Structures are given as structure tokens and as C-alpha cells.
Amino acid sequence: MGNFKYMLFDLDGTLVDSGPDLLEALNYILKKNNLEPIDDYHIGNLVGGGAEVMIKRGFNFYNKEISLKKLPLLIKEFLNYYKDNCSVYSKPYHGVSDTMKFLNSKKYKLAVCTNKSQILAEKVLKELKLDRYFDLILGSSTKLKMKPDTEMLSYCIDFFGTDTDKTIMVGDTFNDIIPSNKLKMKSIYVEYGYSENQDINATFKIKKFQEILKYI
């Protein structure tokens, strides 16, 4: 058991399986550009990095180039579609809600620290009834540099008025673990998320969300 009373969580691939709705948004864009929808088998290779990265990966799937002039419009269309449909198929991973209730009952301070935009992060969490568990929801529509930079994690630590020794980061990609390591902060890597790389240098690794309780 650790001595952590402050916990920072990534969102997509950690708390919420949002891949299906993100893929729906991508396929909406692909269809508008006369390309076939991509099967959900490929979600892990597409999700992560934001709308621009996902769109580029989608077009690259068909070896298609996107002009710099056209890209901003595609991003806007993707985000507008996703904003209206961000919780159709998305759902919390098994054990998330019960674990959050337990952490709240034990007075842990919890924050979401995600590269997803602030508006979309708040919307997804509210619609899935997870927002109630968090003292802070920090998305990318701020002036802070996104993960893997350390700024977002440092902001959360300052917000709580604590230090890295009492804080742990939970996430599913290098974007979550790299800044934790830079800050000499403990981390938990969730193996069920969207990263296929198991060589991530996290302090702990878990296969089910509720296993975080073993390390705090």
C-alpha cells in the first residue's frame, strides 16, 4: 500500500471506453470523403493523440493524403459530430464507478487530467455520471501544454496544494507515464487501455481498474 491521497486519472482508455464513439466520428468524416468506414477491430491503432491525429490515421489507413487547407475543416466536422454523439456507445470501464465511490468515501482527492478538450471531457463525464466523483477536471482547452509535457500534472498538484510524494497518476499511454516519471511521481499503467505497448516504465501495472486499490 502507498501513501497516496491525491489521484490523477487519464480519461479515454483509462476511465472510459470512448473508442466506439470516436470511431463513429472518424467514420462520419471518412464517408463524407468517399472512403469506407473502418472496422472497430482497428480502434487501438486509431485512438489517441486528439482529433487531428485520428483523422490523419484514418486517411492514412487508405493511403490517402490530406491537404493542409482541408485539414482544419475536417477537424471541425469531426469535433462537431463527436460533441453531439460522445456518449452513445462510450461507457465506464468495469469497476470504475464503484471504485470512485469508495475513493470518495475515504476522502481521496481526485482529478481527471486529459488531453481531450475541456468541453468534451466535462460533457462525457457528466453524461456518464462520473463528473460527481472529481474535485478537478482538467482538459486541453487551457493554456497549459498537453501531456506528455508535465504542465498539466503540475497544475493538478498545485491545485490540491500537495506534492508528488502523495500523488499518483493513472493512465493507459506514454503520455500519462512520461510526465509522471519526469516529476518523479508514482504511476499506474492500465493494460486494458488503447496503448498496445506493454514496455511502459510505470511504477505499477494493472489489468482491471479496481486493482488500483492495491497500490494506494
Residue 138 falls in which region: left (phi positive, over 0), alpha (psi -120 to 50) or beta: beta
Looking at residue 12, its amino acid is: D
Q: Which three cell numbers stand for residue 33?
A: 470523403
Paired strand residues for 206: 190
d(CA 78, CA 29): 6
10 is catalytic: yes
Output the CA–CA distances (angstroms, integers) from residue 83 to 24, 87, 128, 216, in the order listed. Answer: 12, 9, 14, 34
- Within 10 A of 212 (CB to CB), how many other CB atoms are there? 20
User: Which residue's C-alpha cell is 488531453?
Assistant: 115
Q: Out of 10, 12, 21, 172, which one is annotated catalytic?
A: 10
Output the CA–CA distances (angstroms, integers) from residue 149 to 85, 136, 165, 177, in the order listed. Answer: 29, 19, 19, 10
Asked whether 26 and 173 are in contact (CB, 8 A), the reply is no
- Residues acting as catalytic residues: 10
